[in-house]
Structure 1
Amino acid sequence: MKQLFLVWLLAGATLVQAQTIQHNAIVIGRVDSLTSAVLKEKRKIWVYVPASAHDPSYAQQRYPVLYLLDGDAHFASVMGMVQQLSAVNDNTVCPEMIVVGIPNTDRTRDLTPTHVASNPEMSASELKTSGGGENFTAFLEKELIPYVDTHYPTTPHRTFVGHSFGGLLVMNTLLHHPSLFDNYMALDPSMWWDGQKLLREAPGLLTQPQLAGRALFVGIANTMPTGFDTVQVRKDTSSATDFMRSKLTLRDELARHPGNGLRVMSKYYPTDTHSSVPLPATYDALRFLFQAYAPSPQVLFNLFEPGLLPNPAAFVEAHYQRISAAMGYPVLPPEPMVNGLAQYLLQSKQLAQALAMFQLNARNYPTSFSAHDSLGDYYSAQGQPAPAAVAYTKALQLKDTPATRQKLSKLRAKK
């Protein structure tokens, strides 16, 4: 079992290194841009594409997209978390994803859904352009998402992430444009905005049928005044508790509307502030939003123990069929993970189960040299030269290497 984990560790490290080291510089993404007719300005975006997209064996691989507001503040942490949970050490807690960070030009304008003329916490200059959230959402829908889909290997599955004012826009998009994204992550959302206008609209909008099949995670930081608890905050009516009270009210409203098909989780972080909550909340949100993605630790244990699963390959295939149904597009089990399982089963003398794993990879990744080369190694080790030769020949058609050609020559010389 330790050998299998070592195989996974090395495979994951190779993928990550290929993505992040270029000319002795650590690179986590690229800056792209588009000119927006809706916003009447040029907008930069920060884009991370998974390392596997650069592997010829994954030429047809496509990825869900995570759209991140305040991208200039949160891109590195969110990108790192997605990479860690989807690729490093062959983690499959969430899928590999393209991360699109959206830096700000006029944050208050773009992230607030309604105009507010005065607020004691903000200056007149800050409020002057407020209320452009709907226009910004039109930019996302009509320009940014189509641009990303055209220029990057995307699937239709999209996640929308925002903190503070960004969380407010995430909630506004969920309630007024629910079909735009599949997953919504509102981190300490500013539901106090405009006299809690969006919060007052929420009860009626949370019953709409378009929410069916969507998922929402709300992370709530501790923004209570000293001496208050959540019970006291709910009863208080002062401006000092307005922010915290609005978030707790949102949580209550979400709990009152469980029958609309919206999958919801809200979590309170009593030891985190408004500024620190994005990191732990994003981690929890990714696990919740993609909870169908990773097998449980107990199931993984069963995969490694002889006899507990009579057909591990069938189990893996069925698990990814369930993932595909949840995501809305075909999701294949990662080739390195399946190869690692196959090698472990082979070392454990579970020959039929190992063969089924090798064959699963060859079917799922027909253009992968390594999938066919590994299948050839299995047949050769079992004294089956004919199918080994077929597998090696296919591998060489994909990539001609001296090692594989030598293996094929040795087989032919034995005839």
Structure 2
Amino acid sequence: MNYQKADLPMKNLRVLMLAFSLHFLVNIQAKAQDQVTQVDSLYSQILQEQRLLHIVFPKNYNPASTDKYEILYCLDDITGFITLEWGMLQWEGFIPKNMILVGITNPKPNGVNMRDRDFTPTKTRENTGGATSFLSFIKKELIPYINKKYNGSNDGNVLYGGSLGGLFVIHAFLNDPDLFTSYIAIDPSLWWNDFLLTQTAAGKLDSNKVLRNTLYIAGREGNAYQEMGVAAMDSVLRRKAPKGLDWTCVAYRNETHYSANFKGFWDGLKFSYGGFYASTGGYATSRKITIKPKGGIVLKNVPFSLTCFNLMANRYLHFTTNGTEPTLSSPTLDGDETRISLVRDSKIIVKSIGVRSAYDKQDSASFVVGDTLKAIAEPKKVKQGGLYYTCYQGTWDSFPDLKKSKPVKQGIADKDFDVNKLATDKNFVCILTGYIKIEQAGYYILEMGGGNDHSRVYVNNQKVLGNHFIREEGEMYLLPLQVGFYPFRIEYFHKRGEAGLVPIYLKAEGKEDLAIPVEMLYSDK
């Protein structure tokens, strides 16, 4: 018996929700334990002191490898939420796994607040104004040290800081934008010295007409957005942001100066790797974007929907319809699904373009401009409820010629039919024939997924699936269909030991994919 959610007593529902939450937290904690933390230190000639470093390595970090690792530099110790969030971001696929986290600790020798000293760009009181020296330490000593000892990369690195650390992030960006690829400043103390950085920002930005960076600034909604100086910096960036700078300023609701860092670290890293995301979860290494449909027949000047999933698709997914490679000047998709019209046979290319070209991804689809496939009137003596199937067994390596073969099973493939139960220990072919009924005219996508490596699908005796099957991706085809009946044929071929066959899917525009229901299928036998 199937139970609906409403059938469950509220007490049981709470127990299930609690169990799920605990499972999620335990799972996340397990992922965090995959990380290896190391304490290191570096004596700085520039600062004339020893600086303590906390370093977290990603899962499967190999110090003997020649692989280069991008580095996330944090202007504070990295215990607590930073390490946990960083691991979660990697596991889910928002950021790459080949990344090392470096926390620069800020001790207080002899009571000196080193955050005040190192992160402030001008001297307004004792032990302040050391940002220039601290930036020199990072550039000339810390980064070379990390690169040499831990295979750090010179490209793709990130600088993160909050409060005074956020002030320093903005200082570093304005004075040496090429030092890091991404800058994340959370509730930065831009009020410092009467908003000095904001006053000088316009001139600094004018001297860098073209950049290739991301800049993420987060503040708090309300008076704090003004008082911290974030609103003023936002205004400057709107007027002066150089070409190629991917930036944003956001105002968080109902957050404190400290809690903004929890959201800001998460959101800032996701933004910094904009265009990267194509998650399959669990430290996946295979990252792709996939156009849907991959090809088919379209009507001249009749728009169809093109889907290509990625986070913030309308910001990072660029496309062309003439077969040329997209650039930043190419149009972007309108979210995950875009309406496109064609006037001639075309190859569409979609490319995810972020500031880190190493992670750019693209996919293509080819379409033929043609006519709507013509339907037929309802055939005589057809019965609703499934196609007629015949099953053959043999030792074939490829799709066989069945003219001289006799079926071992046959009948109607109704709602209880399971093609994978026809034979479990032999190669077999299953042919399903009949008609599919279309109730509403429009574009339809036919699709078959993994397990159907050798299968084929025909509509109006035209093979629409089985020409371009890609293992682990499957195959799909777009057709403009009329209301009425279409001769429909599925040819399943299964080899012993391979993945099980899966149903053929159908997607009408504006609706979700679904395995073709037997109510749409008819047989005349």
Aligned-residue RMSD, C-alpha: 4.1
2:33 to 17, 20, 24: 20
| Counterpart code for 1:82 | W
How has the CA–CA distance of structure 1 residues 260 and 355 changed in structure 2, closer, same or farther, with 3 Å as cutoff?
closer
CA contact (8 A) 2:209 2:242 kept: no
How many residue pairs match? The answer is: 295
Q: Quote how far apart the aligned CAs of 1:258 are.
A: 3.8
1:350 positional shift: 6.9
Residue 172 of structure 2 is matched in structure 1 by: 173
Change (3 A) 1:201 1:93: same
- Compare relative contact order (CA 8 Å, sep 6+) and give the higher one, 1 or 2: 1
* Cα deviation, residue 208, structure 1: 2.5
Inter-partner Cα distance in structure 2 for 1:164 and 1:82: 19
% identical aligned pairs = 26
Q: How does 1:268-283 map to 2 (within 5 A)?
A: 268-283=251-266
Please report how far the alpha carbon of residue 92 of structure 1 lies from its aligned counterpart in structure 2 after TM superposition: 2.0
Mapped partners of 1:77, 1:211: distance in 2? 35
Cα distance in 2 between the residues matched to 1:29 and 1:332 = 32
Amino acid at match of 1:20: Q
Structure 1 pair 153–263 and aligned structure 2 pair: CA distance change class (3 A)? same
Relative distance call for 1:186 and 1:292 in structure 2 (3 A) is same
Residues 273-319 of structure 1 deviation map (CA, whole Å, 9 limit, x = unaligned): 1111011112211221111101399xx9996x9x8447xxxx99x99
Q: Residues 219 and 230 of structure 2 are in contact (CA less than 8 Å); yes or no, is this contact kept in structure 1?
A: yes
What is the aligned counterpart of 1:135 among 133, 136, 142?
133
User: Amino acid of the residue matched to residue 282 of structure 1?
Assistant: F
Give the alignment of 1:181-330 within 5 angstroms.
181-209=180-208, 212-222=211-221, 224=223, 243-244=227-228, 246-295=229-278, 308-309=293-294, 326-329=355-358
- Structure 2 Cα separation of the partners of residues 15 and 275 of structure 1: 23
Q: Whose radius of gyration is greater, 1 or 2?
A: 2
Matches of 2:208 and 2:29, distance apart in 1:
41
For residues 163 and 187 of structure 1, the distance between their equivalents in structure 2, rounded to whole angstroms, comes to: 4
Residue matched to 1:108:
116
Is the partner of 1:262 in helix, strand or coil? strand
Kept in 2, the 8 Å contact 1:15–1:52? The answer is no
Cα distance, 1:16 vs. partner? 8.9
2:151 matched to which residue of 1?
153
Secondary structure at 1:265's aligned position in 2?
strand
Kindly tell me: are residues 222 and 179 of structure 1, through their superposed partners in 2, closer, same or farther at Cα, counting changes over 3 Å?
same
Deviation at 1:55, TM superposition (A): 10
Contact 1:208–1:260, Cα closer than 8 Å, also in 2: no
User: How far apart are 1:132 and its partner, in Å?
Assistant: 0.7
Distance 1:380 1:302, change over 3 A: farther
TM-score calculated relative to the size of structure 1:
0.61
SS at match of 1:174: helix
CA distance in structure 2 between the partners assigned to 1:223 and 1:177 by the alignment = 31
* Residue pairs, 1:63-82, within 5 angstroms: 63-70=69-76, 72=77, 74-82=78-86
Give the Cα–Cα distance (whole angstroms) in 1 for the partners of residues 184 and 145 of structure 2.
22
Taking the aligned partners of 1:55 and 1:134, their CA distance within structure 2 comes to 32
Residue of structure 2 in register with 1:85 after alignment: 89
Q: CA deviation at 1:356?
A: 7.9
1:188·1:221 contact (CA, 8 Å) conserved in 2?
Answer: yes
Whichever structure has more helix as a proportion of its residues is: 1
Q: Which residue, 22, 37, 50 being the options, matches 2:45?
A: 37
Preserved contact between residue 178 and residue 210 of structure 1 (Cα < 8 Å)? no
TM-score (norm 2): 0.49
Alignment of 1:355-370 (within 5 A): 355=471
Q: Contact between 1:159 and 1:183, CA under 8 Å: does it hold in 2?
A: yes
The answer to which structure has the higher strand fraction is 2
For each residue in 1:128-185, what CA deviation from the matched residue of structure 2 results, as whole angstroms up to 9, or x when unmatched? 1101111000110011000110111322211100101100100011111111111000
Offset of residue 211 of structure 1? 5.3
Letter matched to residue 191 of structure 1: L
**CA distance in structure 1 between the partners assigned to 2:44 and 2:454 by the alignment:** 58
| Local SS of the residue matching 1:215 | strand
8 Å Cα contact 2:211-2:242 kept in structure 1: no
Q: In the aligned structure 2, how far is the partner of 1:51 from the partner of 1:205?
A: 39
